[in-house]
Structure 1
Amino acid sequence: MVGLLASGPALAQQPVVRLLPRVLPSAAAPTLTVLVVPLDAAAQAQLPQLTYQAEQAVAGTERFQLVRLADALDAQGARERDAKAAAAAAALQEGQKAYDELDTQQALKQFDQAAQLYEGSDLSRHFMDMSRARVMKIAAYVANGDNKAFQRELKEVLARNPRAEFSSNFFPPDELAVVEKVRRGILAEATRTLEVKTGDVPAQIFMDGQFQGISPMTLSGLTSSEHFVTAIAPGYASAQGRFRGEAALKLEPLPTASKLKAWVDRIAAAPEGADRDAALRELGTFAGTQQVMALLVRGTPSISGQDAIALRVEVSDGHNAGYAVGPLPLSGDAGNTALQALLASVLQTDALRGKGGKPTTHYPTQGPSAGRKTAGYVLLATGAALVAGGIYFGLEASSKADDFKKLPQRDPRAEKLRSDGKTYALVADVGVIAGLASAGAGTWLAFLGGGDGADSGGKKGRVTPAPAPRPETAPAARPEDKPATPAATGKTQDKPATAPAAGKPEDKPAAAPPAGDKATPATAAPQGKSTPASRAEEEKRKREEEKKRAEEERLKREEEERLKREEEAKRKQAEEDKRKGEERLKREEEEKRKQEEERKKREEEEKKKREEEAKRKREEEERRKREEEEKKKKKPALDEDDLRNY
């Protein structure tokens, strides 16, 4: 207690350590849930993995408040787990307050309660929070001087979480040394395995808060302690517990599983139809989210991998805020990269609405045109990504060149810097050239080569502009001078395209006069009368083209500004990295200089010692010689005559 009181002022000067979970996203961020729809058996096997990757992509953007589909389908269970997590956070906060007020007994009680409450929450999210609570429990043991409890709790915490952090704000140097010693010993003995099974249901597996993969699976390199395993699958109640050696978790189906299956079947039956978005809106309404992101994946046995459609739908009116299609390899790093790029194109920006705020949809009415335009968008996005990558590697090459110029020629790092700089420069050139080529091809397909039909499958899918040319031909085909025309026109105002087929036989010659000589005046009159309508249609079409060009220019400017911002951010990051590198080099040089000074100082001290030792030896020798000379002087010399007489 005396030691704790003495350390109080020092602890008060330390910065406040935040032990609470991260603050939830802002209320302004739209809520979003993720649905992955496998379109064949090959994609069905990867459903849990793709769901986890898609959810991580959403969380990584920080634009949305993610609502996991598994939690949305198990609302009651999710509320109970969240309530325990909230109570645990409150207990942790109270424990921290008591610890700061030196009431370590109360702090110990609160930290222990927080750890127990966290254990009943969703540990796939709150395991690290539980670990922090137990670390603070250990800190309370240290403050109370209970060394045995400190040792016991320390081994349990590090056995489950070798990554646990112990701050010097709460642990003296001696205890920190014990922590590191126990940590090394536990890691050296991490040779156990854990087999995880979830029956017939493939599920996402989290061990000690870390995503491990899809069940069934075997985990290796584990400590001998029990580990927390959490299994999650949409449509099933999550299962969780402590296990050692083997973990058999049973996932119970929820009543909402049938609804999920119905939505998935509807989407799989019409992956590019209007019922797809209707099912997604129903799912979003049930989950209580503002948007739904869907990933439709089709596996193929060919080398090209999977065909994927990613879209983000607003639940209120079905507006496609994001849409992208492209190939998706089945596995490997290339598949992960392609998936992240596909999802990023859907999540990063919001698509514009149509005229009057009408929602944008993607129901292709003309397959080839819609596919051409979609391919153009994909190529444009790919080109932008390649150009951005080329710019980044160009900046890296420039940074390597600057570092190379600053190093001495004999420095061993110079050759590596020169080689890396050349590699980055080559990658930058290839990326920029390929990006420009891809962007040019995408621009031609999306805006120049698509024709009128491209819009029908793109931004104006629901408006269906395909019937637009019919009003131009209807006036020319309507013989207004014939007596039968009023009756015919009265019946064909709603269906002009089917009027000729529904008329009497006498109406058919009205379309044939262009072949005869007498038909010229008859045909000239209708053409003359239809000219104002044609001019109006032409002006309308021109206005629409001008609006389209203006919109394209605006999008192009926004894309250029976004690229400039990204380039500026990368440049600043490169400068920051360069500055940190220079600071690190300065620190290394300063350390070398200090080491050199200490070495010289030691050499001087050793030299001084040697000189003093030599001086002492010389003085000793001189003293010995003087003593011998004095002895000789004191001893009487023998007379030669006495020697002879002797």
Structure 2
Amino acid sequence: MDAALSGLLVGLLAAGPAFAQQPPLRLLPRALPAAAAPSLTVVVVPLDAAARTQVPRLTYLAEQAAAGTGRFEVVRLADALEADAARAREEKAAQAATAFAEGQKAYDELDTQKALQQFDAAVQAYEASDLSRHFTDMSRARVMKIASHVANGDNKAAAREISDVLARNPQAEFSPNYFPADERNLVEKTRKSVLAQADKTLEVKTQPVMAQVFLDGQFQGSSPVKLSGLSRADHFITLVAPGYAQEQQRVSGAEVAFTLQPTVHAPRLRELVERIEDGPESKGRDEALKALGTLAGTQQVLALLIRGTPGAGAQDAMVLRLETRDGHNLGYAAGPVTASGEAMEAGVQSLLANVLTGDAPRNGSKPVNHFSAGAPSANRRTAGYVLLATGAALLAGGIYFGLEASSKSDQFKETPQTSARGEALKSDGKTFALIADLGVLAGLASAGAGAWLAFSEGGGGGQKAAPASRPPEPPAEAAPTEAPAPAPEPGVAPPEKAVEPAPEKLSPKKRAEEERRAREEAAKQERQAREEATKQERRNREEAAKKEREREEAERREREDAERREREEAERRKRQEEEQRKREEAERRKREEERKKRPALDEDDLRNY
């Protein structure tokens, strides 16, 4: 019994420190994973050129808002469209986590050599993962690698690693559980030195599209961006753009340019985004979002449609959360937000919160949609107003020519039939009557088509829209006030007035042609900029290769000089040894000769002695 109790006591004493390192027990009930969180991807669609520069930042903002609710499994659209590469990066992160756990186990068992190897393997694996997500994990692995150096007594290696870690992550924590007071003092001294010398700048550019820029795991905005206040060390840059392969490099210098490579899904993504841009308040918008959700492989799509204006001012924003399966709008909000800055982010955050906090119920078993009921899209509305104005002008011209035809008829009745003027009045009356009929018919058709385009639903088949981001348009009867066309004064040439608004009828096609030319011009400029960036990058590589060759040549010369000095030193030592050997040999021979010269003692001498 005494032996059993003693063994139990020893076991408890040995297990006490291990239990102390375990996290405390959770006595509160935890939520059971009855149903997995729905997967969701985020897409931001700019509705004009002024909003395009805000897309990467707003995408990051929407992704963070969705992840912050804890209700969704947020799948980054760029990762969903590059599934194999994203899966490989996550596998590297999983390998790193396993190596870190093995290193922690070895460290706890006082096998610090094995712990050092495992932590170093974790750092290498994390560098090949997505550092926009796992940079903090990599820093933690490097801190534990430093702790292993300290435990092994390798203070020089620990000091180098401390400086390298703090140069990229000045907020890295060094726990007193692993670092003695002297090492923590060195950490704080190095941290202050790094922060005091943080005067480096770095400009990041990308082609052919803008991208989210992450520096050492921290989001820094959209490219091109110029970063300042950096430490004088190499930094990890991660670039994310939907439809393009993720770029991640360890960079130095003051400027770096990247050429992003499109993925196989890039054309399809561009096509769907253009469909949404063309009909942001139509049924086609939801169809395109459903196709986008299917392409990304997610159950829901969170879409942010935004229209900006140059400079300060208000812009329209629409947030929509849609179910990929049948297009049911789980959330919808719209409203004006400021064009830029913190106020814009606050306005967008408010709209996102309204859409992400709860799910809208269905209309029985039918999905609810928010198409444009009474608020057509901007292009549709503009074309409608043009046709309305044209119809009003044609109606006015028809009425005028009708009055002229009636006047010519009265004059013809009062004119003698044999008069030449009577024939002229008859001919003019018929012409004016024909023009009046054509003008009235064309005016009615144009006004009807314009009213349908300007004030019809536009998307068809959807539920009544929620409050739109813009105030409702005026009713149909107010439309003619935009382009009033009263009957002209007699004597004014009516044909010119009847065809005056005609060029506006082609404005949608003209606008599409102008947009196409603008896109081609922008693409041409982008190609030129890309070629220039490629040339500059090639020059930088050649310069770097030249410097590398010069450095290697200098190192080779230094090695040759060192080897020559070693050979000379070896020859000098060899000569000294040879001279020493010769001196010793000469002294030995001298002693032998002296011994031979001394007379030998015979027995009589010994007796006498």
Judge same fold: TM > 0.5, yes or no. Answer: yes
Determine which structure has greater relative contact order: mean sequence separation of CA pairs < 8 Å that are 6+ residues apart, divided by chain length. Answer: 2
1:6-45 deviation digits (Å, cap 9, x = unpaired) = xx99964653489xxxxxx966111000011111100112
The one of 272, 290, 315 aligned to 2:299:
290
The structure number with the bigger radius of gyration is: 2
Pairing 1:122–2:122 present: no
Tell me the equivalent position of 1:216.
Answer: 224
**Following the alignment from structure 1 to structure 2, what is the Cα–Cα distance between the partners of residues 256 and 205?**
22
Aligned-residue offset at 1:303: 5.8
- Match of 1:159? 167
* Structure 2 Cα separation of the partners of residues 11 and 54 of structure 1: 44
Counterpart CA distance in 1 for 2:283 and 2:174 is 55
What is the match of residue 330 of structure 1?
A: 339
1:18-57 equivalences under 5 Å are: 28-57=36-65
Superposed, 1:119-518 pairs within 5 Å as 119-245=127-253, 246-301=255-310, 304-355=313-364, 357-367=365-375, 456-458=463-465
Contact 1:69–1:287, Cα closer than 8 Å, also in 2:
yes
Change (3 A) 1:456 1:250: closer
Aligned-pair identity in percent equals 59
**How far is 1:458 from its partner?**
3.7
Mapping of 1:620-631 within 5 angstroms?
none
Amino acid at match of 1:93: A
Encode CA deviations 1:72-112: one digit per residue, 9 max, x unaligned.
Answer: 11111101111111111111111111111111111110000
Equivalenced residues, count: 362
Match of 1:15 among 15, 18, 21: 21
Instruction: State the shift of 1:159 in Å.
Output: 1.1
Amino acid at match of 1:284: G
CA contact (8 A) 2:208 2:259 kept: no
* Structure 1 position 304, deviation (Å): 4.4
Using the alignment, how far apart are the partners of 1:321 and 1:10 within structure 2?
52
Question: What is the 5 A alignment of 1:555-594?
Answer: none
Partner AA of 2:199 in structure 1: T
Give 3-state SS (helix, strand or coil) of 1:148's partner.
helix
- Aligned equivalents of 1:150, 1:326: Cα separation in 2: 55
Check whether the contact 1:240–1:249 (CA below 8 A) recurs between aligned residues: no
* d(CA) in 1 for partners of 2:127, 2:268: 31
Indicate the SS of the match to 1:323. strand
**AA of the residue aligned to 2:67:** A
The question of whether the paired residues in 1 share the 8 Å contact of 2:312 and 2:340 is answered with no
Question: Is residue 212–residue 222 contact of structure 2 (8 Å, CA) maintained in 1?
Answer: yes
Query: Which deviations, in whole Å up to 9, do the C-alpha atoms of 1:550-604 show, x marking residues without a partner?
Result: xxxxxxxxxxxxxxxxxxxxxxxxxxxxxxxxxxxxxxxxxxxxxxxxxxxxxxx
1:128–1:206 Cα change, 3 Å = same
Q: Which moved further from structure 2: 322-331 or 194-203?
A: 194-203
Decide whether aligned partners of structure 1 residues 17 and 197 sit closer, same or farther in structure 2, where only a CA change above 3 A counts: farther
| Aligned partner of 1:69 among 77, 82, 85 | 77
| TM-score (normalised: structure 1) | 0.54
Give me the whole-angstrom Cα distance separating, in 2, the residues matched to 1:281 and 1:229.
33
Helix, strand or coil at the partner of 2:129: coil
Q: Aligned to 1:106, which of 91, 109, 114? A: 114
2 CA distance for matches of 1:318 and 1:291?
9
Return the alpha-carbon distance in structure 2 between the equivalents of residues 86 and 206 of structure 1.
21
Whole-Å Cα distance in 2 between the matches of residues 366 and 42 of structure 1?
26
User: Are the equivalent residues in 1 in contact too, given 2:368–2:463 (CA < 8 A)?
Assistant: no
Distance between the aligned counterparts of 1:130 and 1:232, measured in 2? 19
Q: Tell me how far apart the structure 1 counterparts of residues 337 and 207 of structure 2 sit (CA, whole Å).
A: 29
Could you tell me how far apart the structure 1 residues matched to 2:312 and 2:111 are?
A: 66
Unaligned runs of 5+ in 1: 1-7, 19-24, 369-452, 460-646
Aligned to 2:394: none
C-alpha offsets along residues 375-405 of structure 1, whole Å, 9 cap, x if unaligned? xxxxxxxxxxxxxxxxxxxxxxxxxxxxxxx
CA shift for structure 1 position 52 = 1.1
Give, in whole Å, the separation in 1 of the partners of 2:18 and 2:179. Answer: 14
User: In 1, distance between residues paired with 2:22 and 2:150?
Assistant: 19
- 318 and 456 in structure 1: CA distance in 2 versus 1, 3 angstrom threshold: closer
Unaligned runs of 5+ in 2: 1-13, 25-31, 377-459, 467-609
Q: Report if the CA contact (8 A) 1:366-1:456 is conserved.
A: no
1:78 aligns with 86
